[in-house]
Structure 1
Amino acid sequence: MTFKTPVVGKIDETITGTTNTVTGKDLIALGFEQGREIAPALKTVNELGLSGADLVAWVAQNKPAPRIRLNLEASNAEEQDNLDKVRATMDVLMQTPTLRAGAVMPDACPAGPEGTIPVGGVVAAENAIHPGMHSADICCSVMVTEFKDADPKSSLDAVHKATHFGPGGRANGQRYSMSMDLYDAFRENMFLSDKKILRAAIEHMGTQGDGNHFAFVGTSKVNGTTCLVTHHGSRGPGAGLYKLGMRVAERFRKERTTGVLKQNAWIPFDTPEGVAYWDALQLIRKWTKANHNCLHQATAEFADVSVEERFWNEHNFVFKDGDIFWHAKGATPVNVDFLPDTNGLQIVPLNMAEPVLLIRAEVNDRNLGFAPHGAGRNMSRSAHKRAKAGKTDAEIFSEETKAIDARFFCGRTDISELPSAYKNATEVRRQMDHFGLAEVVDEIMPYGSIMAGDWEHDAPWKVKAREKHAKKPDESAL
C-alpha cells in the first residue's frame, strides 16, 4: 500500500496519538478499519513520528476505503433487526483472512449462523474460492425470453406444461436431452465425474426445484410484448459440486488455517484442486443455462410462438478478476466483464405480484459491480407463517394474488412464497436508486406465475409423522 506525504500542521496534544507510539487502536479510533492495512500504516506513522493534528490529517488522506459497503437501510423495527443481524454477520465474515472487500445489497438477510455470508452479500477473496459463499444452489439464475407474437395466458399455460417443480428429477421418457459434449466435459473434471452428479445432470435437466424458484409470465412495460422469466439454479449437479467442494475446502482449512469458520473454508486457486473447481463452476454455469434454455424453447414450441430475444444472468456464483474472486450470494452482477454472454441488461425479480425489473449499471464504489437479486426477506419462512396465524392458507392466497394468475405446481399453497413473505418491493427499489446501484430501464408487468408449492405436506415422512401423532392419546382428556 502506498501512502501519501503527511500534512504538517499544529500539534494538538489532546488528540489521540501524541508523542507516544501510535497503536492500532489509535488508527482504528481515527477511521481505519481492522485489517491487513493497519500494520504498514503503523510502521509509517511511527517512523515519521506523527502525532496530534498531523496524525489526524495523515489518516484522513491514507485510510483505505471501507471494506464493507452497506447499501441497506431500515425504516421500522423489523427491518432494523434484519439490518443489525446482517451487519453483525458481515463483521465476522470479513475477518476471514482471504477477504479484501465486501458489499451488502438492499435485499440482504441472514443465511445461517453469524459469520455466514448473507443473502445479498458480495465479497472479494484473494486467490481463493469459498464454496460456502456461493452456497449449494450454485448459479441460481434468471432468464428472460421476449416473444414476438404471444399472449400471457397461453404462455403461462405452455410453461406449465413444459416445466417441472418439486424434488428429484424427471422420470425416464419425460426428460430433456443434455448435450453429450457437456456431459463428456463433466466426466473429465475431477469434481463433476462423480456418478451421482452425472446421473443428476441427466435427470434434472428441465426441472426447477422448489423454494423461491419460479416461472413468471408478464408484459414488457416499454414495448408491450409478452415475456417469460424463469428462476432456478443448477439443481442436483450444483448441489453435488458444492458438497464435494466443501469437503476439499475443509481439508485445506485444517491443513493451512486456524480460527477460520467451517462455512468460510476455501480452496486456494493456485492448487490443482482450485483450478479444477473453477473449471467445474464454469461447466455448472453451462449446464444451468442449458436448463433454462430447454424450458424456454419448449414453452415457445408448446405456445407456437417465435422468440424476439433471450438473455440471462446468475446471482449465486463466483467471478474472477485477476487473482481476486468475487463471490455473490444472492447478488446480481452488473459488471459486464463478469458476464461473457450478456446483452447489457440484468434481471431483478421482486415477488410474484410485482414487476420483474430489467436494469443496467456501471461499476462504482458503492455497488462494487453488483446489484440486488430480488426483494429478500426480513424474517424466516417459519416466522412469516407464524405471523399469519389465524387465517387459512386459502384466505391468505386469495388476498395476496387477486390481480394475478398464481399457480402452485403441486397443488398446495406455500404461503412463505406469497408477496407478504418478502421485503417491501417499493422500498428495495428506492434503496437501489438511493445508493446508486443500478438504473431500471424496463419492467415486466406481472400476469401470473408458477412455483413448486408446499410439496412437503404430502411427502411420505410428513404423512408418517402426522399418522404417528394422530395415534397418540389426547392427554387433555385424561
Structure 2
Amino acid sequence: MNGKQITKLGFEKRAVALALAAATLRERAGIDREEILNELRSVQANPEAYVSGGVYAELAEELTSQQAVLDARRASELRPSPLPYRVWGEDLIEPGARDQMDVAMRLPVGRAGALMPDAHVGYGLPIGGVLATEDAVIPYGVGVDIGCSMRLSVLPLAPASLSTDEATRFLLKHTRFGAGVGFEKRDREDHEVLHEQTWREQPLLRHLQGKAAEQIGTSGSGNHFVEFGTFSLPAPDLGLEVGEYLAILSHSGSRGFGAQVANHYTKVAQALHPALDGQGRKLAWLPLDTEEGEGYWQAMNLAGRYALANHDLIHARLARALGVTPAATVGNSHNLAWKQEVEGHERIVHRKGATPAERGQLGLIPGSMADPGFVVRGKGNQGALASASHGAGRQLGRKAAANTLAKKDVQAYLRERGVTLIGGGIDEAPQAYKRIENVIARQSDLVDVVATFTPRVVRMDTGGEDV
C-alpha cells in the first residue's frame, strides 16, 4: 500500500497518514490489498462505527473530527438571499442600514426580523434592527452597550417649581458622565446588583466587578443624557391626573463593564465561525446550548440589570435632592436579547436600538437634546416582533455632524426651544438626528403615544467640540 492509493480514495491531510499506518498493519496481518481498500472505504463511509476500538479507531476519530469542522463551516455559510422582513419608515432609512439587515437575514440561525424607522448603520446588526434567531445569541446583535436603557421619573412638582439655575446645579452635583468616570469614593453608592452571586460564576465577571462598582450610578459618553423637563399628560394614565409635571429622563447603559463583555464574547463567537467573513463576521453567534453561549447569556443579563441599577441611583439621587418621591416611573431596555415566542416557537429576539412593544407595554422613545420624547404603549405588532424605535435615529454620522454643522446654528436651535445644555458635543446636535415627529408618525401601528416629555436642562458628556 502507498499514499497515492490512499489519496485516490478521497482521504485528506492527516487522515492519509493514519490510513496508511492502519493499512500497513493489515498487510502485515496477511490481508490482501483489495480487501484493505474496501475496509478503508467502509471506515470513510461510516467512521462512527469504528471509533470504539480496533486498528482503524484513530483514523475514524480523525475523520469524525474533520466532518465536524466541515459541518460547522457549512453551518456558518450565509443563505444565498435574505429572509423577508418588514420595514417601518423606509423613506427615513439609509441604504447602508438596509444592507446590514439583509446580511443579518441571511444568517443560518435567523428566523424573522424587522427594521424600525429610526434605523441607521451600526456594527453588525443595524441600530434599529430586530432579529429573531433559533437557539443562538449574537453579541453584536445586542450591541456593545449591553442593556442600554431609558428611565423616566414623573415628580409631584410643577415644572416651574425648579429654576434653570437650580436644575443645572443639581445635575452638575448628582450626575457623572464619560468613559471611565465614576463618583468620588466617598460619594459612591451601593446597589444590590453588585452583590449578586453571578459575579463569582465566571472569571470574566469576577475581573470586571471592581470596574462596575466604581462606575455604578453614572453615565457614559455619546448620546447618554440626564434631563429635567416638562411631562405633559393629556389624559389620565400612569396613575396620574391630566396635567404638566416636572420630570427626569435618563439614557444610560452598562458602562465599561458591558462593553468588555460584548468585545470578549464577540471574539469567542468569531473563533467558532471562521468561515464567516465581511459583514457576516460581525454577526457571529453563540449556540445557547454551549458553554460559551450560556456564559454570554448570563453576562448579558447581568449587564442589563447593572444598566437598570445605574438609572435607579441616578433618579434616586436627584429625587432625594429635591426632597420628593416620584409619582410614576416608566423604563425599558433597548439593547438586549429576550426569549420570546415567535410564530409558535421560542426564539431569541435581539433588539439593537429597539424598544420592546408588547401589547399594553409602556416604553420611552426620546428625541434629541432639544426635541421632545414620548411615553408610548405597545400594540404587540407581531410583524415588528412586538418592537418600536428606540429614538429618532441618526441622519448624520458623528464625523459628518462635526464636519458639517455650525456651532452657532446648533446654539440657535437650543435657544429657540428654551433648552440649557451642559456638555454635549456637536456630534450630538439635534440636526444630526431625524425629526422625532416623523419617526413616531411612521410607527402608529406599533405604539400609541401616552404622554410627551419636553427637555429643559440637559446634561451630557462633553464628547468632542462643545456646542
> Would the TM-score normalized by the shorter structure come out above 0.5?
yes
Deviations 1:123-159, CA, capped at 9 Å, x for gaps:
0011001001111111110001111136343455423
Change (3 A) 1:37 1:241: closer
Number of the residue aligned with 2:238: none
AA aligned to 2:417 is: A
CA contact (8 A) 1:159 1:295 kept: no
Number of the residue aligned with 2:153: 145
Number of the residue aligned with 2:177: 165
Number of the residue aligned with 1:297: 316
* 1:324 maps to 2:347: yes
Change (3 A) 1:172 1:84: closer
AA aligned to 2:226 is: A
Number of the residue aligned with 1:266: 285
Q: Equivalents in 1 of 2:194, 2:174: separation in Å?
A: 22
C-alpha deviation, 1:316, in angstroms: 0.7
Q: Equivalents in 2 of 1:268, 1:66: separation in Å?
A: 20
Q: Equivalents in 2 of 1:129, 1:381: separation in Å?
A: 29
Change (3 A) 1:99 1:242: same
AA aligned to 1:437 is: L
Q: Equivalents in 1 of 2:172, 2:228: separation in Å?
A: 11
Q: Equivalents in 1 of 2:272, 2:119: separation in Å?
A: 29
Q: Equivalents in 2 of 1:192, 1:359: separation in Å?
A: 37
Q: Equivalents in 1 of 2:89, 2:147: separation in Å?
A: 24
Number of the residue aligned with 1:344: 361
Q: Equivalents in 1 of 2:330, 2:413: separation in Å?
A: 33
C-alpha deviation, 1:171, in angstroms: 5.2
Q: Tell me the TM-score normalized by structure 2.
A: 0.74
AA aligned to 2:296 is: Y
C-alpha deviation, 1:190, in angstroms: 1.6
C-alpha deviation, 1:105, in angstroms: 0.5
Deviations 1:347-386, CA, capped at 9 Å, x for gaps:
0001122221010122224322100000001221211222
* 1:368 maps to 2:385: yes
AA aligned to 1:414 is: G
Q: How many residues align?
A: 371
AA aligned to 2:393 is: G
Q: Equivalents in 1 of 2:193, 2:178: separation in Å?
A: 28
For 1:85-164, what aligned pairs fall within 5 Å after superposition?
A: 85-112=96-123, 116-149=124-157, 151-153=161-163, 154-155=166-167, 157-164=169-176
Q: Equivalents in 1 of 2:219, 2:457: separation in Å?
A: 17
Q: Equivalents in 2 of 1:442, 1:455: separation in Å?
A: 33
Change (3 A) 1:100 1:437: same
Number of the residue aligned with 1:474: none
Change (3 A) 1:425 1:311: closer
* 1:397 maps to 2:411: yes
* 1:315 maps to 2:334: yes
CA contact (8 A) 1:152 1:217 kept: no
C-alpha deviation, 1:248, in angstroms: 2.0
Per the alignment, in what secondary structure is the counterpart of residue 221 of structure 1?
strand
For 1:174-193, what aligned pairs fall within 5 Å after superposition?
A: 174-179=186-191, 182-190=194-202, 192-193=204-205
Q: Equivalents in 1 of 2:203, 2:84: separation in Å?
A: 33
Number of the residue aligned with 2:32: none
CA contact (8 A) 2:269 2:285 kept: yes
Q: Which protein has the larger Cα radius of gyration, Structure 1 or Structure 2?
A: 2
CA contact (8 A) 2:357 2:388 kept: yes
Select 2:447's aligned residue among 430, 433, 438: 438
Per the alignment, in what secondary structure is the counterpart of residue 67 of structure 1?
coil
Per the alignment, in what secondary structure is the counterpart of residue 335 of structure 1?
coil
Change (3 A) 1:289 1:273: same
C-alpha deviation, 1:259, in angstroms: 5.5
CA contact (8 A) 1:125 1:324 kept: yes
Select 1:236's aligned residue among 256, 259, 270: 256
What 5-or-longer segments of structure 2 have no aligned partner?
A: 1-77, 234-242
Change (3 A) 1:443 1:274: same
Q: Equivalents in 1 of 2:322, 2:425: separation in Å?
A: 27
Number of the residue aligned with 1:339: none
C-alpha deviation, 1:329, in angstroms: 0.8
Number of the residue aligned with 1:55: none
Q: Tell me the TM-score normalized by structure 1.
A: 0.72
Number of the residue aligned with 1:386: 403
Deviations 1:373-427, CA, capped at 9 Å, x for gaps:
0000122121122222xx4x24532343432332234xxx511212111002221
Select 1:333's aligned residue among 346, 350, 356: 356
Q: Comparing 218-227 with 291-300, which one deviates more in the overlay? A: 218-227
Q: Equivalents in 2 of 1:313, 1:192: separation in Å?
A: 26
Select 2:266's aligned residue among 246, 259, 267: 246
Structure 1 stretches (4+) deviating beyond 6 angstroms? 35-38
Number of the residue aligned with 2:220: 209
Per the alignment, in what secondary structure is the counterpart of residue 310 of structure 1?
strand
Q: Equivalents in 2 of 1:142, 1:312: separation in Å?
A: 5
Change (3 A) 1:128 1:401: farther
Change (3 A) 1:193 1:387: closer
CA contact (8 A) 1:366 1:437 kept: no
Q: Equivalents in 2 of 1:181, 1:429: separation in Å?
A: 34
Deviations 1:12-60, CA, capped at 9 Å, x for gaps:
xxxxxxxxxxxxxxxxxxxxxxx9899xxxxxxxxxxxxxxxxxxxxxx
AA aligned to 1:451 is: M
Q: Equivalents in 1 of 2:335, 2:135: separation in Å?
A: 19
RMSD: 2.5
For 1:408-419, what aligned pairs fall within 5 Å after superposition?
A: 408-409=422-423, 414-419=425-430
Number of the residue aligned with 1:51: none
For 1:57-76, what aligned pairs fall within 5 Å after superposition?
A: 67-74=84-91
What 5-or-longer segments of structure 1 have no aligned partner?
A: 1-34, 39-64, 337-342, 458-478
CA contact (8 A) 2:227 2:459 kept: yes
Change (3 A) 1:66 1:430: farther
Q: Equivalents in 2 of 1:456, 1:175: separation in Å?
A: 29
C-alpha deviation, 1:221, in angstroms: 1.3
